[in-house]
Structures are given as C-alpha cells and as structure tokens.
Amino acid sequence: MAGILDLREKRDEYESESVLTSGKTLITVRPNFPGPDKRNLHSNFVSFTLCHEIESALGIEAIHRTHDEEGLIFFLLSDMDKVEAKRICTGVEDNHPLGRLADIDVRDAEGTISRNEMGLQSRKCYICDDLAAHCTRSGRHGFDEVSGFFKESVTDYLVSGTMETMIQRLSSFSLLAELCRELGFGCVTVESNGSHKDMDFWTFSRSIRTVAKGFGEIPALGANDFESLRKFGLELEDRMFGATGGINTHKGAIFIYLIMIQGLLESGRYEDIPEEIRRISRPVLEDFGKGSESNGLKAYRQHGILGIRGEAAGGFPKLFGDYLGVLEDGFDLKRLTLSVMSDADDTNVIHRAGIDSLRELQSKARQSLRDASGTGSLDCWCNEKNISTGGSADLVGATVFAHLIKNNYKTLKGEI
Ligand SMILES: [Zn+2]
C-alpha cells in the first residue's frame, strides 16, 4: 500500500505539472474524510457531488481523477483567474450542504491561494469550535466520532428536501456506489474500463447525473399505469444517449429504478413495495409475445430466460430478499456482486459471450464466494472473455438503492 504522504507528493507533482504546461488555473476537489484510507461510498459521493457543483459554476468539465487512499479526487482546469475561481470554490465550501466535507484547492503556476488570502477564516473542526488543522494535528477526536459525523452529514443531505430531490440524490448515491466498486467483472469502474473499449468512468459519470435527475421527475409524472412509465423510460433513455454520445450505460438501470420508484410512491409501508411492483409490472410479461429485438427478449426466445422482466413481474424477490440480506450483512459490495453474479441470468453476458459463458461465470462466482478468494482472477477472466456483467451491476446498484429506501422510508414518505 502506497503511503498517503507518497500519494500526496505524487498529486502535488501532477498539479504543478498541469498548471505549468497549461498556464491555467487548477481546481482540486478532495474529500475531507479522516483516517489513512479515505475511499468509501459516502466520501466518494461528496467528491462526485461537489465536482459537479464546481463544473456547473465554472462551466468546465473535470479532466482527471484519482481513486486511492486519498479518496476520490477530481481535477479541473479553468481559464478563470485564480482569485475569481477561489471565490467560487470557497462559496461552495461554505454554502453547499456537503461543502464542509471537502477541500477545494485552487492554484496556478504561482502557487496555491489560501482562504486566509481571500480574507476568509480557516476551516473549522467538524466536532468542536477549534480550527480543523489543530484538531487533526493533535488527534483530539477519535476516528469513529469524526467519520460518524461525516457519514451522518451525507445521510442528512440524501434525505432532505422534496421527494424529487431525495430520489435524485439516493439514486445518484447508489449508481455511484456501483461505479466505484473495487472490481467490475468486465464493467466500467472508477479504476478500469473492464472489457469495454467505447466507454469509461466519465461516460458513466455524465450518465449518472442525467438519469438520476430523470428519476427525480417520477413523482411529478403521476404515472398510473405501466405504459406511461414505459413512455417516460424511453424518453429518459434518449436523454442518457444524449449525455453519453449514444452509448448504453444505464438502460437496464432505468428499467429497474423506474419500477422501484413507482413501487415506493404507491406503497403505504416499506413491506408493501414488492407487492406494488408486482402489480405495476404485470404488463411487462406481455413483451415476451412481441417481436422486439432487445437482448432480454432474445434470451427468452433462445433459452427461455425471463431475465430482469421476470424479476420485475415477481416484485424483485431476490433483490428485496437475498441480495439485500447479503448487503446488510457487512455492506461488502464485492460479496454482493459475487452473490448476484452467481445466480442472476445476466442477459448482457449472454449477449456478448453466449449462454455457456454465463453458466461458467455463475459457477466461478459461486466458487469465489465459497473460497473467499480468486476474485481478482475472475475479474481478469471476464475481461479476457469480453464479458460484461452489466445486468448484475444494475442489480447491485439497485440493491444499495433498496437499502437506502428501507432505512429512510418514513422520511421519504414525509411521515417524520
Ligand atoms: Zn475539534
């Protein structure tokens, strides 16, 4: 494991070099999470959200990211003057609900500009009134206290505001969790393009923002039948293709989340969601009688596999049952991914590598779960065989989403 000091030094080199070669102002967004390893779902979400905030405010796109013990860090280059850029970034630090959970550094070829130089106070500690630098140096507060504050602040942000806002944030959080998995088994992740040549982390990150925003529009739709939900889903697919330059990143996820969110809206208790989903999704089985050419429908015709449509028609029994159980037992996304891969009939795998490869993959995933080893080689095997476990990845993200709905049901429904 590279020490955090080495990583900091490496980052500093990258930053100096980019301002020198570009002659521009560099903005670095990094999570302010305690401890030697800053990577986790909450801290990644803070970086991701604030990077988007800066992108919107400055009208630029991030050009580089790193994901290591320092956490998920974004780098943006702007033509804007250093002082003006710093003014906008300190505004985000001080005013965005997640702003205090990150450090947004601004520098140019002359060096970094500090908050003090802008006439602003240094950052305060999360826990007491002292300066953050004092408490960090003296280790005044324990890891659990500081990380607890960080995670609670993120959760408060996820479930505040209107139903629209909450759905947008929760779906964005869960889709990002899926994208930042340690291993993708052929899928794009924050660290690898898996078996894909035509898409990368940025394709997915643009797509997440677009589809999560769309999911937030579902409550206002007032959809009362499956056809209006499907119509909105097709519109959202178009927006996704617009954001990704025509690449399918989240078509499967759109299908699952639309139905889950509608189930949430129509339910009276968390426990009723699967029943609502069964009712909403009934028409989906009629698709099997049609001549459409989607991967899912081809898999049904050739192999009798009902796939994700069958799951929806049954109220996502595995997702709300076994998968959620695995997730809640230690929140290990690698184990959840292997569990999903070992039993889901992932039609993405069938489409790219055939039914025999799917069965082989399922057996290898079961083996990895039993031995708690071999996951690295299974990941390589997927890439070599040109397999992408995209259907399983959709279910992993959706399981995180179900977990968030379960834990925050009453807040979401405005009951507390
Ligand atoms: Zn303190």
Helical (H) or strand (E) element with 74: strand 71-78
Mean pLDDT within 295-306 = 83
Q: How far is the CA of 67 from the centre of ligand 1 (A)?
A: 27
% residues pLDDT > 90 (the chain): 89
Instruction: Output the CA 135–ligand 1 centroid distance in Å.
Output: 5
| CA 267 / ligand 1 centre spacing (Å) | 43
For residue 2, pLDDT over 80 is answered with no
Output 292 or 255, whichever has higher pLDDT. Answer: 255
- Tell how far the Cα of 132 is from the centroid of ligand 1, in angstroms: 6
Helices (H), 59-185: 82-95, 132-138, 143-158, 163-179
Report pLDDT digits (tens) over 155-207: 999 999 999 999 999 999 999 999 999 999 999 999 999 999 999 999 999 99
As a whole number, the mean pLDDT across the chain is 95
C-alpha span between 303 and 25 (Å, rounded): 56
| 303 vs 78, residue with greater confidence | 78
Report every protein residue that has its C-beta within 5 angstroms of ion ligand 1: 125, 127-128, 130, 135
- pLDDT tens string 34-43: 999 999 999 9
Whether the predicted pLDDT of 134 surpasses 70: yes
% of the chain exceeding 70 in pLDDT: 99
**Band of residue 1 on the pLDDT scale cut at 50, 70, 90:** low
Domains and CATH numbers, the chain: 4-143 (3.30.70), 159-412 (1.10.4200.10)
- Centre of ligand 1 to C-alpha 124, Å, is 8
Mean pLDDT along residues 102-125: 96
- Which pLDDT score is estimated for 293? 72
Q: How far is the CA of 96 from the centre of ligand 1 (A)?
A: 21
pLDDT at 153 over 80: yes
325-347 mean pLDDT = 96
Neighbours of 234 (CB within 10 A): 9
Q: Across residues 358-363, what is the average pLDDT?
A: 96
Q: Ligand 1 centroid vs 72 CA: distance in angstroms?
A: 24
pLDDT 10s digits, 44-86: 999 999 999 999 999 999 999 999 999 999 999 999 999 999 9
Average pLDDT value for residue range 287-311: 82
Ligand 1 centre distance from Cα of residue 133 (Å): 9
pLDDT at residue 233 in the model: 96
Q: Reply yes or no on whether the pLDDT at 285 is more than 90.
A: no
Ligand 1 centre distance from Cα of residue 35 (Å): 15
Residue 289 confidence (pLDDT) above 80: no
Q: What is the largest CA-CA distance in the chain?
A: 68
Q: How far apart are the first and last CA of the chain?
A: 44
32 alpha carbon – ligand 1 mean position (Å): 14
What digits encode the pLDDT tens for the residues 215-228? 999 999 998 889 99
Q: Report if pTM > 0.85.
A: yes
Q: How confident is the model over 4-25, as pLDDT tens digits?
A: 889 999 999 999 999 999 999 9
The secondary structure of residue 130, as a DSSP letter, is S
Question: What are the pLDDT digits (tens) for 83-111?
Answer: 999 999 999 999 999 999 999 999 999 99
Q: How many angstroms separate the Cα of 392 from the Cα of each of 73, 314, 395?
A: 27, 17, 5
